[in-house]
Every structure is written in C-alpha cells, then in structure tokens.
Amino acid sequence: MASIIAKWCQPGKDQYDINLLEQLDPYRESLMKVAEKNKNKEGKNIPSRIVINHFTQQYPQPAILQGPTQIDYLIGNTDNGTMRVYNLHDSHIRPKKCKKGAMKADEWIIRVLKSSDTFVDVFIETPPPIKTFFGEEYEEEEYELRPGALSDLIKELNKCVKQGENCPAPNSRIHGVDVRQIGKLLRKQITKAYPDPETSDVTFDEAVIDVIDTSVSIFASIKMQKQIQGLPKCAFKKLVGKFRGNLRDCLLDINAPEISYDDRITSLVMCIGGVLMDIYLMGRLFKTFDTTKERGQPTYVSNAIIYTGLSHSIEYRDVLESCGFKVVFENRSSGFKDQCVDISEMPYPLFR
C-alpha cells in the first residue's frame, strides 16, 4: 500500500491517477482516517480531499444539463499520460428553463469540483489575470455575456481566477482564457496597423500587410509563447492553419465598401482575438506548470472541463481529435435555442 500511495502522491505522470487510487479501495477505512485528519493542512489538503471524495462518491448525476447546447467527453494520450476533457458548448443566448430533472451547468461544474476524486482544471471564457500583455499594461474590453449558466459560472469563479480567492475546491485549478479582452490594447495595435483611410494615405493593400505583421507579432510574443511551448505538433499545426485561415477570411470580408471603418476594426479585433483565445486555451491545456508555490497541485493537466462559446468549443474538439483523442460521449440539444442536453447516459463516475 505504501508504495502505491507514494507513487500516487508524488509529482509526475502517476500523480492523482485514478487507476492507482482504485487499487487502494481495500484500505478505505484507514485511508479515510488519515485524510480526515489532514484535509485542511497545507500540502496535504489536496490528496486528502481527493481520497475523501473517492470513498464518498457524491458526484451530481442530473438527467438534463441546462445551459450548453452540446457536451463532448474526449479521452486521449499525451506525453504526460491520459487526458480526459469535458467540452461544453454555449450559445450565448438567454436560456429557457429545462424540464424536471435538469441542473444548470454552472451548478453541475461547481458540484463536480467539490466531489471529484481527482484533480480537475477548468477553462472558462473570462480574462486571465495578466497585468501586462505584449509589454504594455492594458484595460479589459468590457462586454457581458447574456444571462445563463456560463455567465453565472464566470461570476462565481471570477475572484478565484483573478485573485485566487473563493475557489470552489482545493483539488481544482481555474483558468481564465479570454485574451480577446485585452481588447483595448489589441484594438490600439490593429488601428495603428490599419489607420482610418479618411485621415491616412495608407492603402488597403498596405494595411493588409501591416495587419498580418501585427497579428504574427502578437502570436510570436513572449507572453503567448510561454503559454504554447508545450503544444504538441498536431495541435500547433491545426491552430496555425486556423489562425491563417481566419485572418485571410476577415481581411476579405472587411474589404466590402459598405462596411464602416469602425466596424472593420471591431471585426478584426474579434477575429484575431478569437483565434488568440483558442491558441491560449489549448496552450494551457498542454502546458507544464510551475507548482513550487502551490504545494500538491500537479504540473500538467490530466482532467479538464472547458466551458466556452460554441464556435470555440467546436474548434477545441477539432484540435483534440486531430491529436488522436476519441469521443467517448456526446449529446446535443434539439436546436440552437434549446439549451437542455440529456446526459443521463454519460458514463459515471466522471473522469474514467
């Protein structure tokens, strides 16, 4: 037993591995006593909570998930072992109430974290706690999602993301990934690359070259490179192709004469920023973290929940499948405006 516990607790590929933990089931009584004694102690809280959750098995099991329009559960192999990902698609529209037996996705995620018998990383569409980006301080671009499970989850977890406070469970790590909300700085850089043709002699063809150069410099910035250096080649290739394709399509779309200059800039900000968000999230999904200040946290992601807008969620599934991940479970609502997904047949316990 001692050798299994040591392997399960130590940083590395086997840390918090559910298969190792299940080998300890015969020692439930003694392990529970040790876990209860150490559950609030620094450095011992995370493994203690995981052990307690494993033997109490209190995962929420609603029949209907209210909020997303689709959920995918994918499993794949990485350099750091097996990775399991629940990918939730949000339509960013006001939800309708689902039938009896439903649970809002924000409540489901919080309860999953509090009852999980492994360590879980959660990625949500809110800004990361970065004070500077590309060497300059920035103000967040303010916009609000329409009321619903995703916006409610963001409100509940925002203090955890920004300040590391009021986090729902010690055995979780919450990531803000929406780097689009460096928006005012991004808008400033794009405006500099593509000045108003009414007050500038720069032609559209010249502006296109400058916008491409600006976009590439953002992609190649030190801040971004630190996040994506762990990306496997399969993901990097897919994301670079998406970056190139989106930028090309945006530049073609804004060349229509009926589109105002302000609308062109806004379109470029959302287009470039949206792809940067996808690259940033996927980079952190495969990143090796420095956990010297967070005792007990794993150095990489093995179990994840992603909750973002559906265009992003579709991209994440595509990237993961291109890296050999398999879809173990998927289901969707009856339509874009229907945000009630039947998960009654989703495998439990979770992250298996």
pLDDT tens string 304-317: 999 999 999 999 99
High-pLDDT (> 70) share of the chain, %:
95
Largest CA distance in the chain: 77
CA 118 remoteness from chain centre: 17
The predicted model gives 106-128 an average pLDDT of 95
Burial 37-59 (b: 16+ CB within 10 A, else e): ebbeeeebbbbbbbbbbbeeeeb
Residue 81 has pLDDT above 80, yes or no: yes
**Sheet strands side by side (includes 120-124):** 172-176, 120-124, 303-309, 81-90, 70-78, 326-332
Question: Residue 26 domain-assigned?
Answer: yes
- DSSP tag of 299: S
Cα gap 57→54, rounded to integer Å: 6
Residue with the larger pLDDT of the pair 95 and 201? 201
SS3 at position 158: helix
Give, rounded to a whole angstrom, the gap between the first and last alpha carbons of the chain.
Answer: 22
The predicted model gives 289-314 an average pLDDT of 93
- DSSP tag of 21: H
Confidence of residue 293 (pLDDT cuts 50, 70, 90): confident
The predicted model gives 222-233 an average pLDDT of 88
The predicted model gives 97-126 an average pLDDT of 94
Beta strands in the chain (DSSP E): 64-66, 70-78, 81-90, 102-104, 120-124, 132-133, 136-137, 172-176, 303-309, 326-332, 340-342
Global model pTM greater than 0.85: yes
Question: Residue 150 domain-assigned?
Answer: no
**Mean per-residue pLDDT of the chain:** 89
CA 221 remoteness from chain centre: 21
Are the CB atoms for 50 and 118 separated by under 8 Å? yes
pLDDT at 180: 75
Cα gap 40→13, rounded to integer Å: 25
Question: Residue 38 domain-assigned?
Answer: yes
Confidence of residue 9 (pLDDT cuts 50, 70, 90): confident
CA 225 remoteness from chain centre: 17
For CA atoms 28, 31, 37, 41, the dihedral sign is negative
The predicted model gives 15-40 an average pLDDT of 92
Determine which of 54-63, 180-189, 302-311 has the lowest per-residue pLDDT on average: 180-189
Which two structure tokens, joined as six digits, stand for 330? 């998927």
DSSP-assigned beta bridge partners for residue 192: none
Residue 183 has pLDDT above 90, yes or no: no
Confidence of residue 257 (pLDDT cuts 50, 70, 90): confident
The predicted model gives 171-196 an average pLDDT of 85
CA 25 remoteness from chain centre: 32
pLDDT at 231: 94
Question: Residue 47 domain-assigned?
Answer: yes
Q: Which amino acid is at 110?
A: I
SS3 at position 306: strand
The predicted model gives 214-238 an average pLDDT of 87
Question: Residue 79 domain-assigned?
Answer: no
The torsion region of residue 290 among left (phi > 0), alpha (psi -120 to 50) and beta comes to beta
Instruction: Please compute, for residue 65, the number of CA atoms within 13 A of its CA located in the half-sphere on the CB side.
Output: 33
Question: Residue 175 domain-assigned?
Answer: no
Residue with the larger pLDDT of the pair 118 and 336? 118
Number of structural domains (the chain) is 1
pLDDT at 337: 75
Question: Residue 352 domain-assigned?
Answer: no
Domain limits for position 12: 2-56
The predicted model gives 248-277 an average pLDDT of 89
Are the CB atoms for 239 and 231 separated by under 8 Å? yes
Question: Residue 39 domain-assigned?
Answer: yes
Are the CB atoms for 138 and 185 separated by under 8 Å? yes
